[in-house]
Each structure stands twice: as C-alpha cells, then as structure tokens.
Amino acid sequence: MNPGLGDYYRNSGQPARGKITIVSLPTAGDTIEIAGTTYTFGTDFIGASRNEVAESLTAVVNSDRSRIHLTPTVPADPVRLVYALFFGSVVAIVACEPGDAGNSLTLASSTSAMVVSGATLSGGAEGALLTVLNDILSFLMSPSAFVAPAVYTTTPALANGLQVTTSAAVLYKLTYYNANVAEQFVQLHNAASEPIDTTPAAFSPKVSPELSGQLDFGPSGVVFSNGIYVCNSTTALEKTIGLADCQFTAVYRQMPVVYPTPAGFEASTALEASHVIYAGDAILYGLLAVSTNIAEQNILIFDSATVPVDTTMATFAKVVGGESNVEFDFGAAGVRCPHGIAVCNSTTIPTKTIGAADCAFVAVYRAV
C-alpha cells in the first residue's frame, strides 16, 4: 500500500523525512505521533508481525484526511503534510512539501517497540529539482537503518569459556576448536554472565578431539535475548565446565536488528524423547539433535502441532550415531511447516516408534 509519489510530491527542494523502526510487536494502546496526529496500535493500526505493523501504519497515515491542509499560496489545492513508505519493518515519513519547514513536523513514540529517528523530521531544505524516489529509497536502505555490519569477538588464547555479549544480540556464526585429546561439547547459553554448572544449554553440539567445528545460523541469525555465553562442557545439554583447551570466535550484532529479521530458537531443558518446537504455522531453518544413547537411533521431524502417535510417517528423518549429533539444515529460505514443528527420536525410520528420554533438541525457526 505504498502510495504513488506523483500523488503528493512537489518538485522543488529537499523534503524533510524521518523513520519509524518497528523493533518488536507493540502492545494495544501504544501510540505513535506523526506531525501532531496520534495513532494508537490496536485501534488505528494493527499487525501480527513487525512487517504487518509497518504496512498498517503506512496505510493509515496515507489515508488520514485529517492530516490534509490547504497551501497558503494555492488555497484551493489540498496537500498532505506527510506521506509514508514502508520497507520491511521500517516506515519512512516524508514531508510532502519540500523545504526546511518540514523539519518542524514532530515524531514521537510511547514505546520502545517502535523507535523514531528523532523528535522531528529532518533534512528538509530549499533547493532545485531532485529525484525523489532515489532519495527516499537510499534513506530507507541506509546502512544505519538495518544493515550495519556484524562484529566478532574471540578468545585470545585457549580457554574454557567466552562471554560474547552481556545484552540482547543476534548470533550469526560460532566457530570453535577443541585442543583436548578427548571429545567434549561446545555449549551456547542465552545468558549475560557465565551460568553455573548443571544449567541447560541452548545449543550443545559434540566436537571430536583436536578438531574444529562451526554453528552457522545463516543471514538472519538467531536472537539471544539475554546475552551470549559460550563454553566447553564434559556433559551434553547441562553445563559441566571443562579445561582451558578451546578456542571460540563468535560473529554477532547487538539488538535491535531490523533487517534481515532474526529468527528465534526453541531448545530442550532436559534429556527427552520428543519436543514440540512450535504449535502453529512456522518456518524451520535448522534443527540440531544430540543423542546420548550408545546405540544408533533416528531423529524424525513432523509438520504437526503435537508429537504424533507411533507409526506416523515423518516429514523429515535422519539417522544419528551412538553418542553423536545430527543436523537438519534447510538453508536461508527455510522450509514452511503450516501445522507446526515437532521432533522426536525413534527406533524405526521413517515411521515413528518413540525411544527413550536420551536426546536434546534445538531448532531455529520463525513463526509465520
């Protein structure tokens, strides 16, 4: 519902503009003020995702006739004060009349879920003819909006742990090396400080002796809401800190991250035979299963909101070796599971025969 620029634009000078970033879903009653008019979430605009909120807000701004005024030079010619454009979860607010007068038009938000670029629009100036479309697209897609480069942190020497960040962040990649002559586990924790031993990990892949490995969460990454802590462990799932014999490097970005929209994860908190990742329409990007059984078994994924009964045919299935892990990788696009995502172990493949509570699961997904 982006408007045609020709409906609003006058081709003299530089229009003032501002930006509203939908960082998370607002709560009913949260408000946005644009050029003196207040819009209320749940009443004036709605949405079940950040992109839907941005589209709905754009639509209501562009359809609100209370924001139309008469120009002083042409009293019969109604002109809007502002119009809106959206790209993903970012809404650009642009003054319709070019010039520095637009710099006084206000922007305000009542919530951290919707972040404004400033207290007023900015950048308006008197000037010559300009190409508005290129200017607005450049503004929407500026690196400061949502594509700032990721950063990394690494252990300067062999260690048993690394505090990557102490606040909410998106993790894109973790590489690790195990210098121990015995196999052990690498654990990721959603934590702002080192958790105590026995704390369940979000991710806990096994790494062979004197070998390296990598967890790759793709271009969208995965959100750690509290912080990111990585360590080695002598036990699967629950933390038992090991020796200073590992090297870790993490690539991440601090929140808020607007684009690409980061994914979430769901993880086991104890050894189990099955787990419902999400009971609804969702996109699955990857799943890691760690088996502590000394015998080979199977991991089955179902497009289902519940764990189905035995003999049900799996949607995806893989064999996992004894005391090993197996990964399902669905790439950057992911795979849509319209009914839900459920996973379990099984003594048979590809139909389900539930096994013992001897596995840990973690999945990266996004609700639709």
Number of domains observed in the structure of the chain: 3
Judge if 271 and 160 occupy the same domain. Answer: no
Distance CA 341, CA 330 (A): 14
Strand, helix or coil for residue 43: coil
For every residue of 71-114, DSSP letters joined together read -SS-TT-EEESEEEEEETTEEEEEESS-SGGGGG-BEEESSTTE
Q: Say whether pLDDT at 9 is over 60.
A: no
Percent with pLDDT over 90 in the chain:
52
Judge if 10 and 137 occupy the same domain. Answer: yes
Judge if 74 and 91 occupy the same domain. Answer: yes
Judge if 81 and 183 occupy the same domain. Answer: no
pLDDT of residue 356: 95
Q: How confident is the model over 317-325, as a mean pLDDT?
A: 91
Judge if 128 and 17 occupy the same domain. Answer: yes
Q: How confident is the model at residue 133 (pLDDT cuts 50, 70, 90)?
A: low
Q: Which of 142, 128, 155, 148 is nearest to 17 (CA)?
A: 142
pLDDT of residue 7: 43
Q: Assign residue 172 the CATH number of its domain.
A: 2.60.120
Average pLDDT, the chain: 85
pLDDT of residue 79: 56
pLDDT of residue 95: 87
Judge if 245 and 209 occupy the same domain. Answer: yes
Q: Say whether pLDDT at 164 is over 90.
A: yes
**Stated pTM of the model:** 0.58
Judge if 212 and 142 occupy the same domain. Answer: no
Judge if 224 and 246 occupy the same domain. Answer: yes
Q: How confident is the model over 180-192, as a mean pLDDT?
A: 94
pLDDT of residue 199: 94
Judge if 110 and 60 occupy the same domain. Answer: yes
Q: Which of 296, 294, 281, 263 is nearest to 362 (CA)?
A: 263
Judge if 289 and 249 occupy the same domain. Answer: no
Poorest-pLDDT segment among 100-114, 189-203, 245-259: 245-259
Which of 210, 229, 262 is the C-terminal boundary of a domain?
Answer: 262
Q: Say whether pLDDT at 126 is over 90.
A: no
Q: How confident is the model over 22-32, as a mean pLDDT?
A: 91
Which of 231, 262, 293 is the C-terminal boundary of a domain?
Answer: 262
Which of 88, 123, 146 is the C-terminal boundary of a domain?
Answer: 146
Judge if 101 and 179 occupy the same domain. Answer: no
Q: How confident is the model over 164-184, as a mean pLDDT?
A: 93
Q: Assign residue 331 the CATH number of its domain.
A: 2.60.290
Burial class for 291, CB neighbours closer than 10 Å (0-12, 13-18, 19+)? buried
Q: How confident is the model at residue 357 (pLDDT cuts 50, 70, 90)?
A: very high
Poorest-pLDDT segment among 27-41, 56-70, 107-121, 168-182: 56-70
Domain of residue 231: give its range.
Answer: 148-262
Q: Say whether pLDDT at 8 is over 70.
A: no
Judge if 86 and 103 occupy the same domain. Answer: yes
Q: Say whether pLDDT at 262 is over 90.
A: no
Q: Say whether pLDDT at 143 is over 60.
A: no
